[in-house]
Chains A and B, each alone.
Chain A
Amino acid sequence: MRSEPPLDDSALGRHLATTRAESFGPYFSDRVMRRVAAESRPRTGLAGAAGIWTVHPRLVSSLALAFVVVGLSWWIARPSVFVAPVGSPLAVELPDGSRVTLAPGSTLRQASFRFSGERRVSLSGEAFFEVARGDAEFSVSTQDATVTVTGTRFNVRSWTGAGGTEVALVEGSVLLRPAGAPADGPALAIAAPVALALEAGDIARVGPDGLVRHVDPGHTAEQAASWRDGSFAVSDRPLEAFLDELERRYDIRLEADPAVTRDRTVTYMNPGSPHVEEVLDAVSFALGLRYARTADGWTVVAADTSRHP
């Protein structure tokens, strides 16, 4: 049985309450009432527009031409955006021949390679990169890190709210630095590294604190990228983040009883392509949880709900 969280006692709740906006600014009601008055008046329709055509045909033609020129310029130099829908990954080939596999629910933005001479992309989510060799540096930006390479294969995991960016290098070498760190900064400093040069097999992380460090998550760099085959190699991941991944990967809705989502981590290795119920079975067994179908997905609850009023 669910109960309301003790929000009155929560410092988080109290702090959030202080962010409440009270007003849109002075004279807001005047601005609304002007619009209400305008909505209440009969509309003049196309008569006014026809007047513009009559009086200023050259002006209108010039504006139209300018619009076309600006539009064409943008279209030629436009950035490309690739979005993998929840439920299925997306394979993308970039103009330089690099290949990217986006995990379900991820977004990759690619600035124009044509005019800038740079190879820059930004990622929200998770993707596996196979970067073609080229003269120009290839860089991947996330919310808190930048990975710079010249030709290699690696996995980047950077979900919003997941607390950092993790890079697993399968082949070649890359330079990993926090977002905003200078590109020519030192590659490694012992006390507080501002960047790390990774070698094949390394897994490293940029945390929310902006520090870069090697990590040993209990699986290999190759396994970190095995989601492309539908496999799982998850070590000590917060249950909430794991449930989020299941939602994206299987395009399902997963609700969790508030009592089971805190302070739990999931370790789950499966080299096959398991059905979602197989995953929920294993995780529920390991964490002492239960799961059940709902109208539009699954819900996860504590096995003994009486312990969690």
Chain B
Amino acid sequence: MNRGMTETQGPGGPPDDELVRRARSGDQAAFRALVERYEPLVAGTVIGMLGRGPDAEEVGQETFVRFWKALDRFRGDSSVGTYLTRIAMNGSLNRLRSRSRWFRRFSSDVPDDLADPGSRPDEVVGAAELRDRLDRAVRSLAPDYRSVVVLRLVQGLSTRETAEALSIPVGTVLSRLSRAQDRLRSILGALALED
């Protein structure tokens, strides 16, 4: 399923370029319409990278605030969706880097682990638990791999859109995706492979 980022008009709303033009001239209602239109895309990206919580909310807000500040420079070379995805992904990666520094410096606990001694990989689990394990498995991937999985598999962007949003070649997307999928399968065992 390719949700894509090329839509420029929401159901019943004005097209993106018109909203951008109005927002650029100071129309905050137009900008609010863009926020509401693209919240799902930004939320999927940021929460996919960081998990739910204050960090994700902060990066989500910051994404739109940065877009607001950059409206004068936004010329529509890429779609609003691609542009926002790029800002959201960069913000998420920066937050991961600062989290990593904070964690290393201040915490003496071992990091989140996926090992759950009380369960077996092939056991039948409920949908909520499965979702939780998938979330944790994705967040155990290194950021380079996680970003590809979030955009390509979770968000459902095409390979080309993923490459564009991450500013990397299509071949690198495919290579990282393959290695990330192998790793996810090895972490999740039979769990993720059964419907």
Q: Name A residues whose Cβ lies closer than 8 Å to a Cβ of B.
A: 2, 4-5, 7-8, 10-25, 28-29, 31-33, 35-37, 39-40, 78-79, 81, 83, 107, 109-111, 120, 122, 124, 141-144, 160-161, 163, 178-181, 208-210, 238, 240, 255-258, 261-262
Contact call B1/A17, Cβ cutoff below 8 A: yes
Closest to A210 in B: B117
Contact between B184 and A4, CB atoms less than 8 A apart: no
B115 CB contact (under 8 Å) in A32, A110, A178, A258? A178
**Complex-state Cα separation, A158 to B111, whole angstroms:** 12
| B134 in contact with A28 (CB, 8 Å) | no
State whether the Cβ of B120 lies closer than 8 Å to any Cβ in chain A: yes
Q: Are B43 and A21 in contact (CB under 8 A)?
A: yes
Q: Which residues of B contact A (CB under 8 A)?
A: 1, 26, 28, 31-32, 35-36, 39-40, 43-44, 47-48, 52, 56-57, 60-61, 64-65, 68-69, 104-111, 113-118, 120-121, 127, 130-131, 134-135, 138, 140-142, 149, 152-156, 159, 171-172, 174-175, 177-179, 181-189, 192-195
Chain B residues with CB under 8 A of A18: 127, 131, 134
Contacts A2-B171, A21-B43 given; indicate if A161 touches B187 (C-beta within 8 A). yes
| Contact in complex: B110, A141 (CB < 8 Å) | yes
Residue of B47, B106, B140, B182 ringed by the most chain A CB atoms within 10 A: B182
A261–B141 CA distance with the chains assembled, in angstroms: 17
- Chain B: minimal CB distance from A34 (Å): 9
Chain A residues within an 8 Å CB radius of B192: 11-12, 15-16
| Bound-state Cα–Cα, A29 to B134, Å | 28
What residues of chain A lie closer than 8 Å to B181, measured between beta carbons?
Answer: 5, 10, 12
Known: A15-B192, A24-B57. A261 touches B28 (CB 8 A): no
Knowing that A24-B43, A161-B141 touch, tell me 16 more A-B residue pairs with CB under 8 angstroms.
A11-B194, A13-B153, A21-B48, A24-B57, A31-B57, A32-B32, A32-B64, A36-B68, A163-B187, A208-B115, A208-B121, A209-B121, A240-B182, A255-B172, A258-B175, A258-B177
Pair A179/B115 contact, Cβ less than 8 Å: yes
What are 6 A-to-B residue pairs whose CB atoms are below 8 Å?
A: A10-B181, A11-B193, A79-B107, A161-B141, A258-B174, A262-B178
Q: How far is the CA of A160 from the CA of B195 in the complex (A)?
A: 26
- CB pair B43–A261 under 8 Å, yes or no, is no
Residues on B with beta carbons closer than 8 Å to the beta carbon of A122: 108-110
Contact B195 A19 (CB under 8 A): no
* Residue among B64, B138, B195 with the highest chain A CB neighbour number at 10 A: B64
| Chain B contacts for A21, CB-based, 8 A | 43-44, 47-48, 52
On chain A, the residues within 8 Å of B44 by CB distance are: 20-22
Q: Pick the contact of B138 from A19, A256, A262 — CB < 8 Å?
A: A19
List of 6 A-B pairs having minimum Cβ-Cβ separation, nearest first: A258-B178, A210-B117, A21-B47, A143-B113, A111-B108, A144-B115
Enumerate chain B residues within 8 angstroms of A111, measured Cβ to Cβ.
108
Complex contact A33–B28 (CB within 8 A) = yes
Q: Is the CB of B105 within 8 A of A24?
A: no
Chain A residue nearest to B101 (CB atoms) is A81
Q: How far is the CB of B22 from chain A (nearest CB, A)?
A: 14
Whole-angstrom distance between the alpha carbons of A34 and B114 in the complex? 39
**Chain B residues within an 8 Å CB radius of A28:** 35, 39, 43, 57, 60-61
Q: Judging by beta carbons under 8 Å apart, are A240 and B35 in contact?
A: no
CB distance from B179 to the nearest CB of A (A): 6
A8 x B104 contact (CB < 8 A)? no
Complex alpha-carbon distance, A180 and B115, angstroms: 10
Decide: A210 and B175 in contact? CB cutoff 8 A. Answer: no
Verify A19–B131 contact, CB threshold 8 A. Answer: yes
Separation of A238 and B61 alpha carbons in the complex (Å):
41
Please name the residue on chain B nearest to A244 by beta carbon: B179
Distance in angstroms between the alpha carbons of A238 and B35 in the assembled complex: 45
A5 in contact with B179 (CB, 8 Å): no
Q: Is A31 touching B61 in the complex (CB atoms < 8 A)?
A: yes
How far is the CB of B116 from the nearest CB of chain A, in Å?
8
Q: Which residues of A contact B52 (CB under 8 A)?
A: 21
- Nearest Cβ distance between residue B32 and chain A, in whole angstroms? 5
The answer to whether B105 and A181 have CB atoms under 8 Å apart is: no
CB closest residue in chain A, given B141: A161
Q: Given the complex of chains A and B, what is the CA–CA distance between A212 and B167 in angstroms? A: 43
Q: Is the CB of B104 within 8 A of A107?
A: yes
Contact A180 B117 (CB under 8 A): yes
- Return A238 CB to nearest CB of chain B, in Å: 8
Q: How far is the CA of A163 from the CA of B187 in the complex (A)?
A: 7
Residue ID in chain B nearest A256 by CB atoms: B175
